[in-house]
Amino acid sequence: MVEGLQIRYMLTTSSEKADSHILSREITIALAGNPNAGKSVVFNQLTGGNQIIGNWPGKTVERTEGWIRYRGKRIRIVDLPGIYSLSTYTEEELIAREFILSGTPDVIINVIDASLLERSLYLTLQLLETERPLVLAINQLDVAESKGLKTDVDTLSKLLGVPAVGIIATKGMGLNRLLTTAIELAEKRERVVPPMYGGEIEQSLEELVRLLDDAYPEYPARWLAIKILERDEWIRQLSIPEDILDRAEDIRDKIEETHKESIEVVISSERYALASRIARSSQYYERKKKTILQNLDTVLLHPVLGYISMLFFLFVTFVALFKIGAVGSSLLESLFSNLDRLISKVSIPEVFRNLLWDGLLSGFISGITIALPYILPFYLFLSFLENSGYLARIAFLTDSIMHKLGLHGKGTIPIIMGYGCNVPAVLGTRILESKRERTIASFLSMLIPCSARTVVILGLVGIFLGLKWALLIYILDLVIIYIVGVLMNRYYPGETPGLIMEVPDLRIPVIKPTLRQSWFRIKEFLYVALPYIMLGSTMLEIIKILGWFDAINRVLSPVIVYWLGLPPITGIVLIFGLLRKELTLILLSTLSGTTNFSMILNPRQMFIFSLFVTLYIPCLATIAALKKELGNITASLLVIAEITLSLLIAGILNHLWLYIIG
C-alpha cells in the first residue's frame, strides 16, 4: 500500500526520467563514436530514421534521434555527433559530453571502427572515465579483415570491463544482439569501472578526489579530478574552491616538470599507451595486398595527376548536372503550365487570383522547379563525394590555394556546393572552425553562380553571344572571387587556422544513407528557402497590382541606365531577381513580349546584365541562410558589400566596353 502510494507520488512529481525508471518502459540509448566509424549507419539500421551521414569530420552537429519499440519497451536512440575526444576543442565534443553527463542516456553504445582500433579506443577510454554504462559495438569487422586485421571481440570486452558485440552495420549483422545487450545493461544500471592510468597520474587523481569530497554528486569524482588536472575550461562554471584548484596547479606543475610536456600531452599519452596495449592484445595483423581503392588513392592524391583527375571529374559532373537540370526543369514547367491553364478557368475575383496564384503559389512552384531538377541531383552527387571520401581529398588538394583566401582546404566544400545553390553552401560553412572563416567562405560562395544564375548566363550570353562568352563570365567570376578572398584575408583581422583533417579511406558509398542524406538536405533547403520565396513573390504581386512598376523603373534608372548602360525595363526585372535569379530572364521575356533577347539587348548589355545578375545580391533564400548562420549584422554587411562590389565591377566594365569598343 505504502509502496503503491510512493510510486504514485513519484509519478506525479518527478521528471519524465525518474518515472521511466520505475516503470522501466522507456530506455534512452546514446550512440557515440569517431567520425566515419559507421555510427550513422548503425542508427539508420536500428531506427530507419532520417539522418545525415558524412565523411568529413564533425558534420552532424545537429542531434538526431529515433524511436523504436522493443519487447514492449519504448527505446529512444540519440545519435551524437562524431568526435575524436571528449575534450571541449569543438562544439561537437561539447555537445556529446554534456549529453552523456546529463544522465539522460541509460546506456551508451560506443561504435568503433575495427580497422582503426587504437584511435577508437582513445575515445572509449574517455567515455569509460564518465563511468556511464557502455556497450562496445565493434563495427566494420569486414573492412578490418580486408586490411589483414583480425579482432578478438571477447578479449576486448574483458580488458575494458564492458560488453562488446562485433557488428557489420552496412549488412545489418550483429545489430540485434547489440540492441539486446544495450537494453540489458540499461536495466541493470551499473556504473562501470573507469580505466586506470599510470601510478603518478592515479596518485594525483586520488588526492584530488579526496579534496573534492563528493561536493559535486552529479559528476563522477574521478572524472572531475581528471578535468581539473587537464585544465578543462568547462570546469570553471562549477566554481570549485580556490584551495583545490591551487593544489591541482601544484600537482600539474610537478607532472609537467618531470615529463617536460604540457599536461594535455601527458594525459593523452597515458590514454594512448593504454589504448595501444589493449589494441595489441586483442587484434592480430596479417599482411595483405593493397586493394584497388588504395591504388586509386595514389593517383587521386598525386601532386600532378591528383589535380588533373579532380578538374576532369568536376567538369564532367557539372556538365552532366546541368543537362539533367535542364531536362527536369522543362518537364516540370510544362507540368505546371497545364495546371496554370486549369486554374485560370476557375472563376474567382481577379485580385485574389493574382495574390494567391501568381503570388503565393507560383512562388512555391518556383522553389520546387529549381529545387528538384537542379539541386536534388547535385545533392546526390555531393553525398556521393562525401561518403566515398573523395571530398576530403579535394580539400587536401586545394588547401594551399585556399590559404591565400583566408580559408583552409575544407573551405572548398561550401564553394563547390555554391554551384548547385548558395543556400546549402552558406549552411555548409558550419564545417569551418572560426567565424572569420565562415564569413569569408559565405561571402565567396555567394559570388558563385548557382544553378539559377547558370540559367541566365547560358540562356542569354551562351545562346546569343556564344559559349565562349559564357565561359568568360565563369572565369571572370573566379578571378573576382580570388581577388575578394585575398583582400578579405588581408583586411579581416584574425588568422587562418591550420588544416587538421582526417582523410578517410576511399570506399563505395552505401546507397540508402546517401539517398537519405540528400533527402534531408533538400528538406532543409525547402524549409529555409520556400517561405521567403513565397512571401517575396506575393509582395511583388502586390506592387504589380498597385501599378508601381514604372515608378520603380524611374527611380532605378540613374543606376540601371547611366551607370550600367542597361535598358530601363531591366530595373524591375532585377528586383524580381531577388526571389530567384533566373526570374530576371523569364520576366524580361514576359515584359518585352519576346524570347529573342537580341531585339532588346545589344551584346554589351547582355554581357553586363548576366555578370550583374551573377553578382548583384544574394537571393532572399540565401539572405535567410546568411542570417541564420552569421547573425543579422554580418548578414547585412555581406549583402551591402555584395551590392557595392557588383555595381563597381559591372559599371566599370560597362564604361570600359563603351570606351574601347563603343
Partner 1 sequence: MIRPLSTLKVGEKGKIVKLVGGTGMIKRLSDLGFIPEQEVEVVRSAPRGPIAIRVRGTVYALGRGVADKIYVDDVQ
Q: Which of 427, 409, 418 is nearest to 378 (CA)?
A: 418
- As measured in angstroms, the least distance from the Cβ of 432 to partner 1 is 13
Residue with Cβ nearer partner 1 (187 or 261): 261
Residue with Cβ nearer partner 1 (119 or 353): 119
Our finding on whether 119 is near partner 1 (CB under 8 A) is yes
Q: How many residues bind partner 1 (CB under 8 A)?
A: 39
Our finding on whether 145 is near partner 1 (CB under 8 A) is no
Residue with Cβ nearer partner 1 (36 or 64): 36
Residue with Cβ nearer partner 1 (396 or 419): 396
In 547-558, alpha helices (H) = 549-557
Cα separation of 366 and 375, whole Å? 13
Our finding on whether 115 is near partner 1 (CB under 8 A) is yes
Residue 310 carries which side chain, given as an amino acid letter? Answer: M
Element (H, E) at 80: none
- As measured in angstroms, the least distance from the Cβ of 116 to partner 1 is 5
Site for partner 1 in 575-604 (CB under 8 A): none
Cα separation of 330 and 338, whole Å? 13
DSSP string, 357-408: IIIIIHHHHHHHHHIIIIIHHHHHHHHHHHHHTHHHHHHHHHHHHHHHTT--
Kindly state the cell numbers that stand for 205.
Answer: 587523481
**Stretch of residues binding partner 1 (CB under 8 A), selected from 72-80, 158-166, 220-228, 491-499:** 491-499
Q: Which of 213, 259, 210, 249 is nearest to 229 (CA)?
A: 249
- As measured in angstroms, the least distance from the Cβ of 230 to partner 1 is 9
Residue with Cβ nearer partner 1 (150 or 191): 150
- As measured in angstroms, the least distance from the Cβ of 486 to partner 1 is 16
Our finding on whether 227 is near partner 1 (CB under 8 A) is no
Our finding on whether 607 is near partner 1 (CB under 8 A) is no
Residue with Cβ nearer partner 1 (79 or 297): 297
Cell 575495427 sits at which residue?
A: 114
Cell 566515419 sits at which residue?
A: 36
β-strand partners of 164? 136
- As measured in angstroms, the least distance from the Cβ of 229 to partner 1 is 13
Among 437, 502, 582, 642, binds partner 1 (CB under 8 A): 502
**Stretch of residues binding partner 1 (CB under 8 A), selected from 16-24, 260-268, 332-340, 346-354:** 260-268
**Residue 164 phi, psi (nearest 5):** -135, 140
Tell which phi-psi region holds residue 643, choosing left (phi > 0), alpha (psi between -120 and 50) or beta: alpha
Residue 323 carries which side chain, given as an amino acid letter? Answer: K
Our finding on whether 408 is near partner 1 (CB under 8 A) is yes
Q: What 3-state class would DSSP assign to 459?
A: helix
Cα separation of 197 and 337, whole Å? 71
Among 118, 142, 207, 256, binds partner 1 (CB under 8 A): 118
- As measured in angstroms, the least distance from the Cβ of 261 to partner 1 is 6
Our finding on whether 269 is near partner 1 (CB under 8 A) is yes
Binding mask 541-580 for partner 1 (x = CB under 8 A): ----------------------------------------
Our finding on whether 223 is near partner 1 (CB under 8 A) is no
Cell 553552401 sits at which residue?
A: 425
- Cβ–Cβ under 8 Å, residues 155 and 126: no
Among 47, 51, 60, 87, binds partner 1 (CB under 8 A): 87
Our finding on whether 499 is near partner 1 (CB under 8 A) is yes
DSSP string, 574-608: HHHTTT-TTHHHHHHHHHHT-S-GGGT--HHHHHH
Among 89, 492, 527, 562, binds partner 1 (CB under 8 A): 89
Binding mask 306-335 for partner 1 (x = CB under 8 A): x-----------------------------
Measured from the Cβ of residue 211, the count of other Cβ atoms closer than 10 Å reads: 18
Residues 6+ apart with CB under 8 A from 643: 616, 617
Q: What 3-state class would DSSP assign to 150?
A: strand
Our finding on whether 268 is near partner 1 (CB under 8 A) is yes
Among 397, 480, 601, 620, binds partner 1 (CB under 8 A): 397
- Cβ–Cβ under 8 Å, residues 605 and 631: no
Kindly state the cell numbers that stand for 596.
Answer: 529573342
Among 358, 386, 399, 437, binds partner 1 (CB under 8 A): 399
Among 102, 262, 330, 338, binds partner 1 (CB under 8 A): 262
Our finding on whether 634 is near partner 1 (CB under 8 A) is no
Residue with Cβ nearer partner 1 (198 or 558): 198
Our finding on whether 92 is near partner 1 (CB under 8 A) is no
Tell which phi-psi region holds residue 512, choosing left (phi > 0), alpha (psi between -120 and 50) or beta: alpha
Residue with Cβ nearer partner 1 (503 or 535): 503
Q: What 3-state class would DSSP assign to 226?
A: helix
**Footprint on this chain of partner 1 (rule: CB under 8 A):** 84-85, 87, 89, 115-116, 118-119, 122, 261-262, 264-265, 268-269, 272, 276, 301-303, 306, 392, 395-397, 399-400, 403, 408-409, 497-505
